[in-house]
């Protein structure tokens, strides 16, 4: 099966919840999408920039199943996110230090140039220069899918708008979908997956709903990364010929399992 190359961040995260859940962990959309796709049976490679503090990540048990050949190792600190949630599970504050990911766009463009026939998923998050990357993918007529991050979604959707009809699949939550619908006609988009937390997720094709699935109920332990898990799982199943209904059912189940499981702690480098 063709590899999925996931352009985005791999980071050191701190999540905070009002009931004292959360803590320090490994995060980043490129990591979560790649892990989910791999677990669903599709080889995946994070196209990311790792700092010195995460140089050992490709050898960590559980993460060593990923294809790390598309990473760039750079001298400096990795990206960090400080994510604060309210009692309803909505993100209310984000603190960011991009670190070595400031060169992610340069690395992503070089990777696309070297692998123009690959299949890509683009995590549309700062500091990635989304228009530059999407223009290059469109130039090569590459297959690509996209997702967004609510704090930056309005700016990123606007920046990505000229290339959205060329994407195979878009992943958004309900708030992001409303922003998208205000900016462009969703009837031009071949496949849009819209999530709504514990409520039904839907797939729309050229504006028409073609699938729906309610995530199995779980008590949430960790929310951040659930959407990325859904995206990676959905893409893996669609690549094997699953229908939108089948892929969405598998994806919502995977996201539900994710939120109920402990997060990935920050692994210490191995000695020796």
Could you give the CA distance from residue 146 to residue 124 in angstroms, rounded to a whole number? Answer: 7
Element (H or E) spanning 227, and its range? helix 226-239
Per-residue pLDDT of the chain (272 residues; tens, 9 = 90+): 689 999 999 998 888 888 877 778 889 999 999 999 999 999 999 999 999 999 999 998 889 999 999 999 999 999 998 888 887 777 788 888 999 999 999 999 999 999 999 999 999 999 999 999 999 999 999 999 999 988 899 999 999 999 999 999 999 999 999 999 988 888 999 999 999 988 999 999 999 999 999 998 877 767 778 999 999 999 999 999 999 999 999 999 999 998 887 666 666 565 44
Rounded to 5°, angle at Cα 135 from 205 and 183? 45
Contacts of 84 (CB under 8 A, 6+ apart): 15, 16, 91, 92, 93, 94
Contact present, 105 and 125 (Cβ < 8 Å) = no
Alpha-carbon distance 71 to 10, whole Å? 10
- How many angstroms separate the CA atoms of 61 and 229, rounded? 19
Contact 72, 10 (CB under 8 A): no
Q: What is the distance between the alpha carbons of residues 33 and 213, in angstroms, rounded to a whole number?
A: 20
pLDDT of residue 265: 62
**What is the rounded distance in angstroms from the CA atom of residue 272 to the CA atom of residue 37?**
32
Rg (CA), the chain: 17
In Å, the largest CA–CA distance within the chain is: 57
Tokens 């220069």 -> residue = 129
pTM: 0.93
Enumerate the domain spans of the chain.
4-260
Q: What is the pLDDT of residue 272?
A: 45
Q: Please tell me what DSSP assigns to residue 66.
A: S
Q: How far apart are CA 260 and CA 245, in angstroms?
A: 23
3-state DSSP: the chain helix, strand, coil percent, rounded to 5?
40, 25, 35
CA distance 132 to 103: 13
CA distance 15 to 12: 10
- Positive or negative, the Cα torsion across 45, 233, 9, 138? positive
Q: What CATH number has the domain spanning 4-260?
A: 3.40.1190.20
Contacts of 166 (CB under 8 A, 6+ apart): 134, 137, 138, 144
* pLDDT for 121: 98
């Amino acid at each position: 099966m063709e590899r999925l190359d996931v352009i985005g961040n791999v980071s050191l995260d701190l999540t905070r919840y009002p009931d004292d859940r959360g803590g320090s962990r490994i995060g980043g959309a490129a990591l979560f999408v790649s892990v989910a796709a791999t677990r669903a049976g599709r080889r995946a490679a994070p196209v990311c920039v790792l700092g010195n503090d995460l140089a050992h990540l490709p050898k960590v048990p559980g993460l060593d199943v990923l294809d790390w050949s598309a990473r760039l190792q750079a001298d400096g600190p990795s990206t960090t996110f400080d994510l604060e949630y309210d009692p309803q599970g909505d993100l209310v504050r984000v603190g960011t230090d991009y670190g070595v990911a400031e060169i992610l766009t340069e690395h992503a463009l070089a990777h696309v140039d070297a692998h123009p026939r690959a299949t890509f998923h683009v995590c549309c998050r700062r500091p990635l220069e989304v228009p530059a990357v999407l223009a290059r993918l469109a130039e090569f007529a590459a297959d690509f899918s996209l997702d967004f991050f609510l704090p930056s979604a309005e700016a990123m959707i606007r920046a990505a708008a000229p290339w959205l009809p060329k994407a195979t699949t878009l992943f958004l939550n309900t708030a992001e979908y409303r922003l998208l619908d205000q900016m462009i006609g969703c009837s031009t988009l071949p496949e849009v997956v819209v999530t709504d937390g514990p409520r039904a997720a839907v797939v729309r094709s050229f504006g028409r709903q073609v699938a729906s699935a309610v995530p199995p109920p779980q008590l949430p332990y960790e929310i951040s990364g659930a959407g990325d898990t859904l995206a990676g799982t959905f893409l893996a199943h669609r690549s094997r010929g699953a229908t939108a209904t089948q892929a969405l059912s598998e994806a919502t189940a995977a996201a539900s399992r994710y939120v109920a499981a402990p997060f990935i702690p920050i692994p210490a480098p191995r000695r020796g």
